[in-house]
Structure formats: structure tokens, C-alpha cells
Amino acid sequence: MSTPASTPGPVSTTEWQHPDVVRFMLDDCQTWAIVGLSDDSSRTAYSIAALLQSRGKRIVPIHPAAPTVLGETGYATLADVPFPIDVVDVFRRSESAGEFADQAVDVGARAVWFQLGVIDADAFARTTSAGVPMVMDTCPAIEWRRSGPS
């Protein structure tokens, strides 16, 4: 899959939510490591993880407590995951999200997704410059509704 080339300088929300990159992640990526996922079913990360599972994706909880969530074993860090990760989906505040994009690149993830309201333009630039496609400030649930089935 080829993704749009990133360019230096300020990025726009159009680049952050490029339809080809979104479609690549939703269609071609199966294993989603979800940073911030706990067993608290009232949290958005939990409902999005359940949605991803309902769409046939494997979810991997990433949380310091490493809980088992929705039947999947949790890991304290991305580096602890003993198998390949397709997408690192980050449910953390913008000011702490960038470190997870960097870790995603370090572990060889195929893509990074920052959830709705999570924005770090510097992390976007670093990640895409490393050749890893990235989406920011949107949610798989929104994008599936927007684009429909592939």
C-alpha cells in the first residue's frame, strides 16, 4: 500500500485524516494495540475496542496494569507485545501521546492512530517521516460511518 508522502512544515487536518491512510488501517490492518485500554467498560477505549473486535480485528490492551480486556491478554508496554502490531491506537491526552507514536515506530507497527481530540503535529511529522502512516483526531467508528464498507 502506498501512502501519501509527508511534506515538511505545518500539517493540515486533511493530511491527518487522509482517506487512503484511513482506509488502509480499517481494511488492511488486523492487529490493533490500544494504548490506554482497561477493563472499565464505561471508557471510550473499551467501546472502540469492542467495535474493532466486532469488525474482525484483534485488539491488544496496552496499559500499565496489563489487564485482560474483552478476552485479550494485556501488556504493560508496546515493547512487551510478542507479536507484530499493525496499528497502535492511542487513547491518551495530546501532551503524552507522542511518546506512543515514537514507540510504535520503534516496535515496527505498520500505522498509528490518535483518537478524536488527540493531536500532536510534531509526532505526526516524526512518525510519517519514519515511513509509518498516521491518522489523528478521529475515531474508527466515525470513519466507518463516513466511508461505509470497503
Which CATH superfamily is 16-147 part of? NAD(P)-binding Rossmann-like Domain (3.40.50.720)
8 Å CB contact between 67 and 74:
yes
What is the domain partition of the chain in residue ranges? 16-147
Q: How far is CA 47 from CA 43, 70, 88, in A?
A: 7, 10, 16
Q: What is the pTM of this model?
A: 0.89
Model pLDDT for residues 98-134, shown as the tens digit of each residue: 999 999 999 999 999 999 999 999 999 999 999 999 9
Candidate from 36-40, 73-77, 141-145 with smallest mean pLDDT:
141-145
8 Å CB contact between 113 and 140:
yes
Torsion of CA 22, 25, 107, 54, to 10 degrees: 130
pLDDT of residue 54: 95
Place of cell 503535529: 121
HSE of 143, CA atoms in CB hemisphere, 13 A: 27
Q: Which helix (H) or strand (E) holds 35?
A: strand 31-35
pLDDT of residue 14: 72
